[in-house]
Structure 1
Amino acid sequence: MNYISVENVSRSFGERVLFDNISLGINEGQKIGFVAKNGFGKTSLLDIIIGKEQPNTGSVNRRNDLRMAFLLQEPDLNPNSTIEEIILASDIPTIKIIANYEKALQNMEDADKYQAAFDAMDSSNAWDFETKYKQILSKLKLDDLSQKVENLSGGQKKRIAMAIALLSDPQLLIMDEPTNHLDLEMIEWLEEYFKQENYTILMVTHDRYFLDRVCNEIIELDNGKLYTYKGNYSYYVEKKQERLEVEQTTQEKAQQLYKKELQWMRRQPKARTTKSKSRIDDFYTIKEAAHNRRKDHKIELEINMERLGTKVIELHKISKSFPGKKLIDNFSYNFIKGERIGIIGKNGTGKSTFLNMITGNLLPDSGKVVKGETVKIGYYTQGGIDIKPGQKVIDVIKEYGEYIPLNKGKIISASQLLERFMFDSKKKHDFVEKLSGGERKRLYLCTVLIQNPNFLILDEPTNDLDIPTLNILENFLMDFPGCLMVVSHDRYFMDKIVDHLFVFNQSGTITDFPGNYSDFRAYVGNTDLALDKEDTAPSEKVITQKPVEKKTIEKTGPTREQQKELSRLENSIKKLEEQRVKLQESFLDTSLAPEQLAENSIKLDQLKADLEEREMEWLELTESIG
């Protein structure tokens, strides 16, 4: 059954054409992921589909009785209303019936009112819906419905809008960045929910695991054309690469034919026959194909980085609490060169507080943070760039200098640097307030990186960035030789760039887990994460052991032999980590002979294997100690 038909639509702003003469059908049962670079027309096409904008040409036909729900990137909610009032005002009749029934339960003395509410629940078959209603509110952590919207965070507002969209029982659900501001537990619940429920979905998201696990079709808007891939995100990546290879071959053939026809054109006399004129027309068609180069700009992030000394950052028994909440309790850690740490935990467990203590923006209640003399921190915060009225994009970069130092003594102008961050000549001279959300984040990232940090902290860097920019950022971070610490709900991003995790618990404890996010999920299983539960005792672990069929014995702590072995393994792991970093840094030395580089590569592989073995021994020992 067809829900929406988009036929030959075009959209342009002045001379800038976003897309021209594209068509799309949305049918029952499809779960479509919509991907494109920032600024290529994703939002405009989405607005045309939902009727918020009109196309310059073409039409959109919607089924008359179609029930649609829209989840916008930034929900527009009345700040003076409570959560309950917002939900009740959502025009979902069954919710009003449930609300009346729950009020009647609180006043059982009024038997007539209670009976009327009970009968309304029966006649509208609202009992099953009530279960769904409570489950969705619970999973989205909307427990206190009396809270006013003006006191809520952006994430809480997004969750209210998500709840309303899901509860409206739509046939077609259209979502713009549904996973932004959701924690990992909610994202994984949402994935399972969409697998079970019979929704037809069209969504824009940069969350590649979410696309992979939810969608059965991907559409891509690329250089004004729409491409369809009948599969999930992994299938799309594979088939897109095949398409690009075919396009490159076709372009090369067109260029060869163009050169041949150009020679023929130059040999022609002024008076041409009809046959010649036909060939001349073909020539201009060939010329257009030959010059139709793909506009793929790649960010080449080769910013110079100040060298880190032996001492990086040391955390000595730091603690931090706020009234009624202990966030960080007696945590110690010594960072070493080349570390790549991911930070995970529920919203409100102290992740941003932890980063602010490391950067010196916030002092711990007890303990101390010691920073090495050579450490230069680059801090990418969730707040984003501070927009100054009337400031142009080029002026933002020029605040850091007309020229920026690169590796190997090279320099680059502020204008050239913006081009590498995919800002074309026109965009460079646009006012910052005219940029899209993703473009502002890209500009902000640029300002952080050009300051040459050697300790890079990224707090939710993937929000609002398009997938092509994410891929390029990941490639840069893979080669970044300094220390890297990342807070992100993007599991694909975390899996690709981090080596181990700091797992934040509600009790204030932090566990150092030796692996990426997928390793962690495989370890704790698919049930509720232990890190999501309030600790009832100080000794309770973030990562819980699986039950074994043995007699329960009272633990008295590690034995002296276990303590010695634990200390030996930790020292061994630390030395192996230091050796790994040195070997990795050796690949940056241009004076080394190819034979030496090959030998170092073999050593690095062996060292990684030894390190993995020691880490597994450490993990098994800590499990046995309990």
Structure 2
Amino acid sequence: MASYQYVYVMKNLSKVYPGGKEILKGLSLSFLPGAKIGVLGPNGAGKSTVLRIMAGIDKEFGGEAWAADGVKIGYLAQEPDLDPAKDVMGNVMDGVGPMKALLDRFEEVSAKFGEVVDDDEMNALIAEQAEIQEKIDAADGWDLQRQVEIAMDALRCPPGEADVTKLSGGERRRVALCRLLLSKPDMLLLDEPTNHLDAESVGWLEHFLQQYPGTVVAITHDRYFLDNAANWILEVDRGRGIPYEGNYSTYLENKQKRLEQESREEGARDKTISRELEWIRQSPKARQAKSKARITAYENLVASAGSQKVESAQIVIPIAERLGGVVIEAEGLTKGFGDRLLIDDLTFRLPPGGIVGVIGANGAGKTTLFKMITGKDQPDSGAIRIGETVRLGYVDQSRDALDPNKTVWQEISDGQDELDLGKRKIPSRAYVGQFNFKGSDQQKKVGQLSGGERNRVHLAKMLKSHANVLLLDEPTNDLDVETLRALEDALLEFAGCAVVISHDRWFLDRIATHILSFEGDSHVEWFEGNFEAYEADKKRRLGADADQPHRLKYKPLSR
């Protein structure tokens, strides 16, 4: 057992960037051994800076920060480094190097028993073998190869022989996360560990971290992850660190009490927290009933869309033309790519007012489906029908169609002082402010923005396009929780349809009326209900195997 009271301590920690911007102001925190801490806060609040200081990478800071003696710290950066001279398996095995060396030495010692005749030498070998065996027993290292295979499979790592220099950013992160988890440090520092993981892999990671004996500090905006895996929430806001004991739901309750006590001018933000709390307090049955009620209440949504008032910390999606009976329909849809069959005989009908959550592992064919809906790609067989009244709005994963030389305000507003949002006009700066670009942030150059900020610019541009069917490809990646809440509320009030590729289960639970799941083996399941109801149905259909993620399999393409 750890002999220290705290695994890590920071006293009066401050950080000032060149130009005088103070990002951390006098943080004093002590981290308990074995604590599972979720770190929350707006984009740019300094969360990643805290982790880099704790990992010993950023040494330019004021105050003090130190780990207890003998504590081994492991860190997952947003863009981790891999050894380019090794393949995927070689990089993963770096995480278990010391244990692999012990197992190899145990084999060597065991082999020598048949060769040694001298008693003293034999006694020395027996003593060494006992010592090695004790170390392997203590670290549960006998089935090391199986542990490695389970972790690589569950995190959907690329094949072991793959060249790491040719991997995508998401694949690199999965390999680095796998290597880090297998190295079993005393303290895990994880910067957005759930980015680029699908819902099943996030579920596996949650379970792994719940059982993990060491301390975990994770920056994440995945609220199910924070609810299931965290027993403390550290909120980093305006340079301060505020710890809350409990998981995400408890944090929301306590945060609301704090806002009430401080009686700040926080009306709009307070409302978004209240709405989320109201949803949390509902039973699963009530949540599912609410998602079904959205379809039947489509007429009311259309009626109320014109009279909505715009408040701060709130996104409002303007409505264009009302939708007819046909929105998006697929009949016997089949599509292959290379030698793989991605989609095999998919049939579904999206009703007016429907919000579809599209889930599945990376590379399963989700973005290909969007390309077929937008007409950029054609099915191999079957048909996809888009209703005559449908006006599509599309935000893709790449988010590269932005002018880096324009300011945030110019890029979103096209230089207009007033924007026409359907049945009402709104000052363009107020509209830009809805996406959490306040004051001087609106004058930032687009080329200098973080991933989360670029995502918000794309959303702001697309959501004012008067589309009545929104196609959102990973809109929740890199968004802070406040913007996520605002986007959820906007979609719930939106008098149109949305098809959303997302791995954020909380987001899908709150907004989805239907789930379209790429389950592997080229099968795509169309399900009426939210994510929680879909998960229950999947367990009924597939049994115990439903919870365990594996590398994707596809049917071969026979043309």
Please say if residues 505 and 532 of structure 1, whose CA atoms lie closer than 8 Å, have aligned partners that are also in contact: no
| Cα distance in 2 between the residues matched to 1:401 and 1:240 | 37
| Cα distance in 1 between the residues matched to 2:340 and 2:509 | 30
> How far 1:96 sits from its partner (Å)?
5.0
Please say if residues 405 and 412 of structure 1, whose CA atoms lie closer than 8 Å, have aligned partners that are also in contact: no
Greater relative contact order (CA < 8 Å, ≥ 6 in sequence): 2
Matched, 1:167 2:167: no
Pairing partner for 1:461 from 472, 475, 497: 475
Matched, 1:186 2:168: no
Pairing partner for 1:70 from 75, 81, 87: 75
Matched, 1:27 2:32: yes
Give the TM-score normalised by the residue count of structure 1.
Answer: 0.71
Matched, 1:375 2:390: yes
Matched, 1:516 2:530: yes
| Cα distance in 2 between the residues matched to 1:249 and 1:188 | 37
Matched, 1:132 2:147: yes
Distance 1:50 1:377, change over 3 A: same
| Cα distance in 2 between the residues matched to 1:232 and 1:514 | 30
Please say if residues 41 and 481 of structure 2, whose CA atoms lie closer than 8 Å, have aligned partners that are also in contact: yes
Please say if residues 346 and 532 of structure 1, whose CA atoms lie closer than 8 Å, have aligned partners that are also in contact: no
> How far 1:17 sits from its partner (Å)?
2.8
Pairing partner for 1:406 from 410, 421, 433: 421
| Cα distance in 2 between the residues matched to 1:474 and 1:440 | 18
Give the alignment of 1:115-130 within 5 angstroms.
Answer: 125=136, 126-130=141-145
What letter is aligned with 2:89?
E
Distance 1:302 1:520, change over 3 A: closer
Distance 1:208 1:370, change over 3 A: same
Distance 1:5 1:45, change over 3 A: same
Matched, 1:438 2:455: no
Pairing partner for 1:360 from 370, 375, 382: 375
Please say if residues 218 and 231 of structure 1, whose CA atoms lie closer than 8 Å, have aligned partners that are also in contact: yes
> How far 1:531 sits from its partner (Å)?
11
| Cα distance in 2 between the residues matched to 1:151 and 1:383 | 18
Describe the SS at the equivalent of 2:382: strand
Matched, 1:5 2:9: yes
Please say if residues 6 and 61 of structure 1, whose CA atoms lie closer than 8 Å, have aligned partners that are also in contact: yes
Describe the SS at the equivalent of 1:473: helix
Per-residue CA distance 1:455-507 (angstroms, 9 max, x = gap): 01112211111111111111101101111111211110000001121222323
Distance 1:364 1:27, change over 3 A: same
> How far 1:240 sits from its partner (Å)?
0.5
Matched, 1:416 2:430: yes
Please say if residues 95 and 182 of structure 2, whose CA atoms lie closer than 8 Å, have aligned partners that are also in contact: no
| Cα distance in 1 between the residues matched to 2:553 and 2:135 | 42
* Counterpart in the other structure of 2:513: 499
* Counterpart in the other structure of 1:384: 399
What letter is aligned with 2:457?
L
Choose 197-206 or 329-338, whichever is displaced more: 329-338
Per-residue CA distance 1:8-48 (angstroms, 9 max, x = gap): 11223334332311211112111111111112221222222
> How far 1:73 sits from its partner (Å)?
1.6
| Cα distance in 1 between the residues matched to 2:345 and 2:146 | 42
| Cα distance in 1 between the residues matched to 2:548 and 2:386 | 29
| Cα distance in 2 between the residues matched to 1:145 and 1:100 | 24
| Cα distance in 2 between the residues matched to 1:57 and 1:130 | 44
Describe the SS at the equivalent of 1:2: coil
What letter is aligned with 1:21?
G
| Cα distance in 1 between the residues matched to 2:34 and 2:338 | 49
Give the alignment of 1:85-104 within 5 angstroms.
Answer: 85-90=90-95, 92-96=97-101
Please say if residues 505 and 531 of structure 1, whose CA atoms lie closer than 8 Å, have aligned partners that are also in contact: no
> How far 1:510 sits from its partner (Å)?
2.6
* Counterpart in the other structure of 2:192: 177
> How far 1:244 sits from its partner (Å)?
0.4
Please say if residues 394 and 470 of structure 2, whose CA atoms lie closer than 8 Å, have aligned partners that are also in contact: yes
Please say if residues 88 and 96 of structure 1, whose CA atoms lie closer than 8 Å, have aligned partners that are also in contact: no
Distance 1:479 1:99, change over 3 A: farther
Describe the SS at the equivalent of 1:318: strand
| Cα distance in 2 between the residues matched to 1:12 and 1:532 | 42
| Cα distance in 1 between the residues matched to 2:553 and 2:180 | 33
Please say if residues 413 and 419 of structure 2, whose CA atoms lie closer than 8 Å, have aligned partners that are also in contact: no
What letter is aligned with 1:188?
G
Gaps of 5+ in 1: 253-295, 539-626
Distance 1:460 1:418, change over 3 A: same
| Cα distance in 1 between the residues matched to 2:411 and 2:198 | 32
Please say if residues 334 and 345 of structure 2, whose CA atoms lie closer than 8 Å, have aligned partners that are also in contact: yes
What letter is aligned with 1:218?
I
| Cα distance in 2 between the residues matched to 1:251 and 1:418 | 19
* Counterpart in the other structure of 2:314: 299
Describe the SS at the equivalent of 2:520: coil
| Cα distance in 2 between the residues matched to 1:123 and 1:226 | 42
Identity %: 36
Pairing partner for 1:529 from 546, 549, 556: 546
Matched, 1:16 2:21: yes
Distance 1:132 1:91, change over 3 A: closer
What letter is aligned with 1:27?
L
What letter is aligned with 2:64?
S
Per-residue CA distance 1:101-121 (angstroms, 9 max, x = gap): 99x9xxx9xx99xxx9x9798
> How far 1:242 sits from its partner (Å)?
0.3
Larger Rg: 1
Distance 1:411 1:20, change over 3 A: closer
| Cα distance in 1 between the residues matched to 2:549 and 2:134 | 39
Per-residue CA distance 1:365-416 (angstroms, 9 max, x = gap): 1233232333111112221243444333233224485642124332432x33
Please say if residues 10 and 55 of structure 1, whose CA atoms lie closer than 8 Å, have aligned partners that are also in contact: no
| Cα distance in 1 between the residues matched to 2:266 and 2:327 | 50
| Cα distance in 1 between the residues matched to 2:554 and 2:414 | 51
* Counterpart in the other structure of 2:173: 158
Per-residue CA distance 1:188-244 (angstroms, 9 max, x = gap): 111111222212111100011111111111111223322111111111000000000
| Cα distance in 2 between the residues matched to 1:440 and 1:537 | 37
Give the TM-score normalised by the residue count of structure 2.
Answer: 0.79
